[in-house]
Amino acid sequence: MRRVGIVRELRRYPVKSMAAEALASAAVSWHGFAGDRRWAFIRPGAERSGFPWLTIREKPDLWRYEPRFEDPENVESSRVVVRTPEGAEFEVADPEFARGLGEGVRVIKQYGGVFDTFPLSVLTVQSVESLGGLVGQALSPMRFRPNILIDAGEPGGAVGAFPEDEWCGGILRLGTLRCRLDKRDKRCVMVNVDPADPAAVQAGVLRTIARERGAHLGMYGTTVEPGTVAVGDPVYLES
């Protein structure tokens, strides 16, 4: 194995396209992070489409809705409560909450998670910084909604502009978790939304990724061996 960095941040998204929960450690199963993207809202009239979900693309201020598990130690059976931008709190399955998101919007729960492609998303600090240099402004990693943010510039790491590109197809070991990086993450207009200011949509972010990176940034992955990962864990690339 070769050390390639350290875990800098861990995040899960209890409700698809809403705000993240920062975690000190995470249990990771075949379905990804425990509790990740277990709930999602469906747009009216889009049920039979290939992508029926209500997301940041249609409603950028979803970033400002903050979900949390009432029982973080037992997330698969815990209720999820969402704090709205106005400060009100609703249980995620409350019909009144869905009505507030739009006429005809409804919620579903899926134990295996509502994922676009793969259950894990991996990104490096260096990729975010390098892209920021191309865009001409500092960017938050949260704009790209990773589960695992890795700092490849830590001692023993391999520093490069977009280091995870070289890891594609390989297996990472983080704590007791082993995950395979299956493919590069193809980005969409969601990356144009700044989580700190959802009203500030910046089309130049996706345009830059498309022009310089073939629209890809970061990696999608799957679990090879379930385990637990924590912030500060060294990250190894298996040969």
DSSP labels for 49-76? SS--B--TTT-GGGGG-EEEESSTTSTT
Q: Which of 221, 236, 212, 190 is nearest to 4 (CA)?
A: 236
pLDDT score for 50: 80
Using a pLDDT cut of 90, give the percent of the chain over it.
82
Residue 216 forms beta bridges with which residues?
Answer: 186
pLDDT score for 155: 61
37 band by pLDDT with thresholds 50, 70 and 90: very high
Q: Are 65 and 14 in contact (CB under 8 A)?
A: no
Decide: residue 196, CB within 10 A, 0-12 exposed, 13-18 middle, 19+ buried.
exposed
Q: Which segments of 107-201 does DSSP mark as H helices, in order?
A: 125-135
Model confidence at 60: pLDDT above 60 = yes
Give pLDDT tens digits for 182-191.
999 999 999 9
Beta carbons within 8 Å of 174's beta carbon, 6+ residues apart? 7, 148, 229, 233, 234, 235, 236
207 band by pLDDT with thresholds 50, 70 and 90: very high
Other residues' Cβ atoms within 10 Å of the Cβ of residue 236: 17
77 band by pLDDT with thresholds 50, 70 and 90: confident
Model confidence at 154: pLDDT above 70 = no
Other residues' Cβ atoms within 10 Å of the Cβ of residue 22: 11
Domain 2-238 superfamily per CATH: PK beta-barrel domain-like (2.40.33.20)
pLDDT score for 44: 92
Give pLDDT tens digits for 88-113.
999 999 999 999 999 999 999 988 88
Q: Residue 175 and residue 226: Cα distance in Å, rounded?
A: 10
Model confidence at 158: pLDDT above 60 = no
pLDDT score for 117: 86
pLDDT score for 153: 84
Average pLDDT over residues 220-224: 97
Model confidence at 157: pLDDT above 60 = no
- The bridge status of strand 120-124 relative to strand 148-151 is parallel
Say what the pTM is: 0.94
156 band by pLDDT with thresholds 50, 70 and 90: low
Helix (H), strand (E) at residue 239 = none
Residue 196 forms beta bridges with which residues?
Answer: none
List the domain boundaries for the chain: 2-238
Average pLDDT over residues 158-167: 85
